[in-house]
Amino acid sequence: MSRKTVLVVDDERDLVDILEFHLRREQYHVVTAADGETALKVADREQPDLVLLDLMLPGIGGLEVCRRLRANERTADVPIVMLTAKGEETDAVIGLSQGADDYVRKPFGVKELLARVATQLRRGRRSSRNDRSSVVWGDLVVDGDGMLAMLRGKPLALTITEFKLLRALVARPGRAFTRDELLDAARDPDSPSGGRTIDVHVAALRRKLGDYGDHVLTVRGVGYKVATDPSL
C-alpha cells in the first residue's frame, strides 16, 4: 500500500521540522510549503491525501488557500486541517465555512495532531454527496459542503462531532434516533464508545443552539429527535 502524502503549510520553520519528523515516523510522505502561493502549487502538483494548513501565512492567507483548494477540482475533496493560534477561533469557524474539515489550536500536542490526521485520513476524501448537501430546518441551515451550521445567518462554533450529530438529526426531523445510531453517525472513530457518550454531545449542542436547543427533544427510552417544525 502506498504511503499517504501530507502537505504541511506553515511559515514557522521549527514547527514544520517537528511535524515533518513525527509524521514521517508514522510512515507518511511529507511535503511542505512556507507560504500560501507555494502551498497551492505544491498541492496541485502533489495532490496530497491531507493538508495541514496554518491560518496566518505570508502572502495568500490560510483562508484564501483553503477556498482555492476547494475551488480546484484536483484538490476539492482533500481533507484540510487548519492550524490556528489562540484568539483565531472566529477565523477557524470561517475556515470551516470555506471547506476545512477540522482545526487544531496552537500550541497543540503532537499526539493530538497525529490523531486528528489519522481520523481524517480514515474518513477519506470528501466525496459523499449526502454528507455535502445542505439541509434547512427553520432558521437553521446545515451546509454539509462547507461543514458549517448557521442559525439566523450567524455561524455556530460546533465541533466536528456536534456538526455531524446536528446534520443527522435535522436531515430527518421528527424521526427518533437511538443513541447508538447517533453515535455511529456523529462520533469520530477515536471517540469513546458507548451510547451514553452522545448525551454529552447533545447537551453541548443544545447550549450552542440557544432557543433552538429546545427543539432537540429527548425520546424517553430511545434517544433523541428534532421537532418537525421548529417555528411551532
Q: Domain spans of the chain? A: 5-123, 137-226
Query: Quick one: fold of 137-226?
Result: Arc Repressor Mutant, subunit A (1.10.10)
**Domain 5-123: CATH superfamily, name plus number:** Response regulator (3.40.50.2300)
Distance of CA 111 to the CA centre of its chain: 18
In sign, the C-alpha dihedral spanning 17, 91, 123, 205 is positive
What is the pTM (predicted TM-score) of this model? 0.58
Block mean pLDDT (10 aa), the chain, length 232: 88 96 96 97 95 94 91 86 78 72 86 90 59 76 81 89 89 87 68 64 93 94 90 72
Rounded to whole angstroms, the Cα distance separating 151 from 73 reads 29
Residue type, 42: V
